Structure 1
């Protein structure tokens, strides 16, 4: 899920205890209420979030979000900043399982392949197992480039209803 309110509503209604991933921009002020329910935080890209997770969810598993396409409109740290964010996460007592990125806004397959291969290479160089990359429109390219997680909610459930 990528909206705090939806996570809280859905876990309250779930008939069984399921692992829940929080995907996307994380607001530091939402960490406290979400921490009991989240098994993996995808999209960690700021020291403030790492600090809050370290306080509110020690030992939490995270993926660092990387702006592999270098688009101004995308969240995530630059590839050159990943090592310092990784160290900060580990120092805060978090388990950094890997990296996460979002493909290019343009939908260009060659650009997506370049970004995904770059992220996989960076993850490998840092000995990180997980690479969350690929969404409903580009997941096949992502898998071919070494993705270990894809985010295909729109393909499975249809487009999200606007709030």
Structure 2
């Protein structure tokens, strides 16, 4: 077991002044590692692969708050809808509509975060600013179509670079966009409050730039095993 409890305590200590949440990213890691963090009090875990998450959810404690943080295909939503708490990477209206449909079948409300493309790399998913505004305008004008989802905030991934000023600028830009979206579309909606930015390498910068939720994997669990 390669989990790092010392790093875990350091992360929690860094989050406390900001009242930010930790999503412990457990993808490719065994159930035993999740149980070890669960025993210390961690309850929010994030996974990137649908089948892996479904298998883990079935054997782990029922009070775990599961977050799906990977790129999600519409045809896989039905497998997560019975239990997932938050879906982080909404990058299309079609996906949002499918989540609402599957949540309705399960008589649930699922939290959704809109993924905005802020990185210089083209490989990362996400909405640009115009697509974001179009999606929200449709959401606002069709309330009956979205009764089983809450748009709970936004998420983004900074460029994978050692240039801290670039990372800070990208997070800052998203935080400003978050503020303007909240004012325009969610002024009276207290559920729109999460800004999911920051991972193992850049979470201290993300916290300074307004993160309410960091997604940390390798720092806590060690390097991922993609051969699994």
**TM bucket normalised to smaller:** over 0.9
Contact 2:90 2:113 in 1 (8 A): yes
1:99 aligned residue (145, 154, 159): 154
The residue number in structure 1 matching 2:125 is 75
| Worse overlay, 24-33 or 12-21 | 12-21
Worse-matched range after superposition: 153-162 or 130-139? 153-162
Shift of residue 32, structure 1, vs aligned partner: 0.4
Computed over aligned residues only, the root mean square deviation of the Cα atoms, in angstroms, reads 1.5
TM-score if structure 1 supplies the norm length? 0.93
Give the gaps of 5 or more residues in structure 1. Answer: none
Question: CA offsets, 1:66-105, max 9 Å, x none?
Answer: 0012431110011232122234445331211111001102
Match of 2:48 in 1: 2
Aligned to 2:96: 50
SS of 2:127's equivalent? coil
Question: What is the alpha-carbon distance in structure 2 between the residues aligned to residue 16 and residue 56 of structure 1?
Answer: 20
Aligned residues: 163
The question of whether the paired residues in 1 share the 8 Å contact of 2:117 and 2:157 is answered with yes
Q: Which residue of 1 aligns with 2:136?
A: 86
**Structure number with higher relative contact order (C-alpha < 8 Å, ≥ 6 residues apart):** 2
Q: Residue 57 of structure 1 aligns to a residue in which SS?
A: helix
Instruction: Report the CA distance shift for 1:89/1:105 in structure 2 as closer, same or farther (over 3 A).
Output: farther
Q: Distance in 1 between matches of 2:179 and 2:218?
A: 29
TM-score under structure 2 normalisation?
0.67
Aligned to 1:28: 74
Structure with max Cα Rg: 2
